[in-house]
Every structure is written in structure tokens, then in C-alpha cells.
Structure 1
Amino acid sequence: MNRSERLMAVLDLLAENGQLDVDEVVTALDVSPATVRRDLDTLAEQNLLTRTRGGAVGHSVSYDLPLRYKRGQRADEKAAIARAACALVSPGDVVGLCGGTTSTAIASELAARSDLSDAPGASITVVTNAINIASQLALRPHIKVVVTGGVVHARSYELTGDFADAVLGGLAIDIAFIGVNGVDIEGASAYDEGEARVNRLMAERARRAVIVADSEKLGRRAFATIASLDTFDVLLTDSRAASDSIAELTERGIDVRIAE
């Protein structure tokens, strides 16, 4: 395991547990205590965790890890959600995709769909504010890619700001998949207010707006509100979702679907 992989592994452990001590990391990664301390110091310097006397703790819910550190988290659940989301897309649709790991997984599923790739010319249009998704889909001849423009958010690769607002304001979207950092009875939310604003506009411009959120996001509220639940038609989540969370959201009128 090289240093970059080790730092990612430390962040994954922190994401699972919320806090770490040096001995836990030593055992989990089979490295020396001195190495663990140096790694924790490095991550603290990057504002990815807070050092404590014996280890580290995660930041509050108003803070998000960079996308590159989240790709392996709950990958199976996100893949299931992505497959269910992809099944909602029909040839000819204009599809909105905001940033995030679940949306990135949806992009991969769309790229691989044979009924889309076999059609002559572009069979769907993807509108996205995520430069990693645009890059992923740009060479797929069956997908027309429209990028919103804006200022790049270094953690999520999402474009935000007035340019993104202006482009989205002039588009009509058939179905939009909105990744969130939290969803509860008050609505969907994100860590960053700029991303929340773009996500809200994308949802509002869509004929059908779908929240895509793994079960860990249910019952949570992040810093910036995206929109209330009545903005959305469907919530796609995974089989680990708590029954009480599903019941609360269903009572608020959203169609909660479990991706298998």
C-alpha cells in the first residue's frame, strides 16, 4: 500500500467510525505508530480531520470529504441505486446529473446501456455540472453532454455560480438525479450552499426529479437546504434504509423506492 492509498484508507476508517485512535489504525493497516501519526498530521493539515491527543476525529456534518476519498464508500449500495436510476431513463431523454459518487455511478450505468449505445447518433442528452461526469461521458457517441459552466468546486468537481445558474435556467430536463448529503422530513440538503443552489435549480427544471441517496444519508440534515420534499417525485435508496425513515418520508408524499 503506497502513501496515497494509505491516506485514503485512514479516511475510510474515519468515515466508518467517526473517530480513530493510533492503535486502531496500526492494527487495521499494519503500519507503525510513527507512520500513523505522520499520516494523521498530514490529513489534519489538509483540513480533512481534527487531531486529538491519541488519534483523530472527523469534522462536523457541515464538512464534506473530497470526492476522490469517497469513491469506495458504500460502493455496492451506490451501484444498486445507479442501476435503479438508469432503468428510469428512456431513449431520447434529457437527463440531469449533479455531482457526487452516486451520480458518477449513474453516469457509468448510462454509458454501458446497450439499448442506448446501439442507437444511431446521440440517443440521450446528459446535462451536468460535474466535470468528472462530463469527462467520463464525453467520448460516448450515444450521449450528448451539456456542461453548465461555472466555477469548479475542488472537493466535488462540481461547477457552481452564476454561469451554472444561467445555463440551467434556459434548459428543460426530463429527469434529474440529485445526489444529496442528507434527506429528512424537512427536505434534501448538501454541505455546500453553492452546490445546493445548482441542485435545486436542476430539480426545478426537471419534469421528474429523483433524489439518489444511500441509506446513510436518510434522517440526516446537512448545512445547506437544496429543496423541500415536494420538489421531488422519487427517492431511490438502498436496502439498509431504516423502516422508520422510509415511513416518515413516505408520509410526506415522496415515493421511496428500494434499489436491490
Structure 2
Amino acid sequence: MKRHERMNALLELLGERGRLDVEEAATALEVSAATTRRDMDTLAEQQLLIRTRGGAVLSSVAYDLPIRYKRGHRADQKAAIAQVAARMVDRHQVVGLSGGTTTTEIARALAVRPDLAGEGPHHNLTIVTNSLNIAHELAVRPQFKIVLTGGVAHSRSYELIGPFGELVLREISLDIAFIGANGVEPEVGATVYDEAEARINRLMAERAGRSAVVADSAKLGVRCFARVGDAEVFDTLITDEGADPAMLSAFHESGLETVTASPAASGETAQD
């Protein structure tokens, strides 16, 4: 396991348990105690955890890990979701992408679609996003027109938030939007940690002819601080095959079409 992958895994463990001692973490990650201590010290320097005698606890600001530390988490599920989402996009459409690791995977899936490759008199796709990292990755592809919403950069998610972005979104129309979430429940719909992020995400979904919330199955049944919306905003939920069938039925009853993707064979999907 590479160092950055190891630290990702350490942060994930700490996020799940709230507190870890060195020996416990070393056993879980199958590394030495000395290596675990060094990793904890490095993450403490970055203020992502607080060192304690013999271990570590979550930093008070680590409720949502920076996106650079979450790329490896449930990567297969996110890649499968991304393949499903990318197939929903038609050539020359205007596509909205919120920030997040799953929507970043959607951007990557679109970037390698053969029918969207190559330059011509018109752009093959227009991407509207409030995500700095998505814009950075796609800006090198001349076949895509990249529109950034503007706003104030959020240091943890690399998303642009605030009234400047809202002004831009109110003046445009999207064909389809894919919105990430930190949690999705049948009763309240998609939720995130930050209220300003929630407003941007909801507005992006509302400006689209079709909107989908994208979330791996670990986020289903989870409720976070700020509500984005439910079936009043979204048409579809795209998740992975690990989703509880009863939970999917509850989403269907709430008015959301559900689509599941298989990490083992992302070309195979199932719909309600």
C-alpha cells in the first residue's frame, strides 16, 4: 500500500471510529506501529487529526475530509456509478456537475468516451461546474466547453459557493445535471454538510431538464446538516448494487427512479 493510500485508509478508519490507538490502526492497515506513528504525525501536522497519548482522535474540523483524501474510498463503486451516468449524456448536451469524488469520476468517464473525442466546428459537450478540480481536469480537452460558475472556493471540497455562482446558474439552462451528496434519505432526499454548497447544488439541479443525485450505497440512509432536495428536485438516484433493496423501494415510493451499477461489471445496470 502506497503512503497516500495508507493515510487515506487511516483517515477513513478514524472517521468511522472517532478514536484510534497506534496498535489498533497498525493491525487494521497491516503495517508496523512505527509507520502508523509517522503517518499520524504527518496528518496531525495537516490538522486532519489530533495526536493523543498512544493514538489519535478526529480533528474538530475533520467532519468532511478534503477531496484529495477521499479519492480511493469506494473507488470501484464510484467508477461504476460514473459509467452509468456518462451513458445518460448525449453529444452536444449541456451537463451540470457539482463537486465531489463521484462527479469527478463522471467527468473522467465523459472525457474518455470515444464519441465525444475529437475537435470540430462545435464543442462536443458543454460542462457547467462549480468544481475547481473537475474544471482543471477537463480544461485540457478542447472538445469540451468548460463553464465555471464562479464564487468563493471551499477549501475542503474545492467547490465554488456563494451568491456569485448562484447568479450565473440562474441565467443558464442545463440538459442534465449530476449532483453529489454526503447522504441521501427517502424522507428528506439528498443532504450535504454545508448550507452554501446545498444551495448551489439545488439550483444546479433545478436548472436542468433532468437531474440525478449520485451516491454510493454507503451514503444511503445517511442524513447530513443541509438539505439539497428530494423528488421535487431530482428525477433519478444512481447508486451501486450494494444498496439495500428495501431502501431502494422506499426511494421509488418517494418518486425517484433508481438505477444501480455493478462495480464488478460497470456495463451492467439495473433499474426499478
Question: For 1:254, which of 253, 256, 272 is the aligned residue?
Answer: 256
Question: Identical aligned pairs, as a percentage?
Answer: 55
Cα distance, 1:52 vs structure 2: 5.6
Q: How much has 1:230 moved relative to structure 2? A: 2.1
**1:165/1:198 contact within 8 Å kept:** yes
Runs of 4 or more, structure 1, over 4 Å off, are 1-6, 15-19, 44-47, 50-54, 57-62
Say which is worse superposed, 20-29 or 210-219, in terms of deviation.
20-29
Q: Supply the distance in 2 between the matched residues of 1:188 and 1:129 (Cα, whole angstroms).
A: 18
Q: Which moved more, 1:62-71 or 1:73-82?
A: 62-71
Counterpart residue identity of residue 196, structure 1 = A
Structure 1 letter corresponding to 2:137: Q
How far residue 77 of structure 1 moved from its aligned partner, in angstroms, is 0.2
Which deviations, in whole Å up to 9, do the C-alpha atoms of 1:104-128 show, x marking residues without a partner?
0000011101111146231110000
Please state if 1:12 is matched with 2:38: no
> Is the CA contact 2:48–2:62 (under 8 Å) kept in the aligned structure 1?
no
Work out whether residues 212 and 236 of structure 1, in 8 Å CA contact, stay in contact via their aligned partners in 2: yes
CA deviations over 1:200-231 (Å, ceiling 9, x no partner): 11011111110000001100011111123321
Q: Which residue of 1 aligns with 2:241?
A: 239
List alignment gaps of at least 5 residues for structure 1.
none
2:78 counterpart residue number: 78
Structure 1 match to 2:202: 200
Q: Which position in structure 2 is the counterpart of 1:161?
A: 162
Q: CA offsets, 1:117-145, max 9 Å, x none?
A: 14623111000000110011111121100
Give the alignment partner of residue 230 of structure 2, picking from 223, 228, 231. Answer: 228
Pick which of 242-251 and 72-81 moved more.
Answer: 242-251
Q: Report the CA distance between 1:170 and its aligned residue.
A: 0.5
Deviation at 1:81, TM superposition (A): 0.2
TM-score, normalising length from structure 2? 0.87
Partners of 2:194 and 2:51 in 1: CA distance: 23
Deviations 1:179-198 (A, max 9, x none): 00001021110011111111
Structural mapping, 1:91-240, within 5 Å: 91-118=91-118, 120=120, 121-184=122-185, 185-240=187-242
Letter in 2 for 1:175: I
- Shift of residue 147 of structure 1? 0.4
Give the distance between the partners of 1:149 and 1:234, measured in 2 at CA. Answer: 27
Q: What residue ranges of structure 2 are gaps of 5+ in the alignment?
A: 263-272
Q: How far apart are 1:50 and its partner, in Å?
A: 5.2
Aligned to 2:265: none
Contact preservation (8 Å) 2:23, 2:33: no
TM-score (norm 1): 0.90
Question: Following the alignment from structure 1 to structure 2, what is the Cα–Cα distance between the partners of residues 235 and 59?
Answer: 32
Q: Which residue of 2 aligns with 1:89?
A: 89
Q: CA deviation at 1:24?
A: 2.1
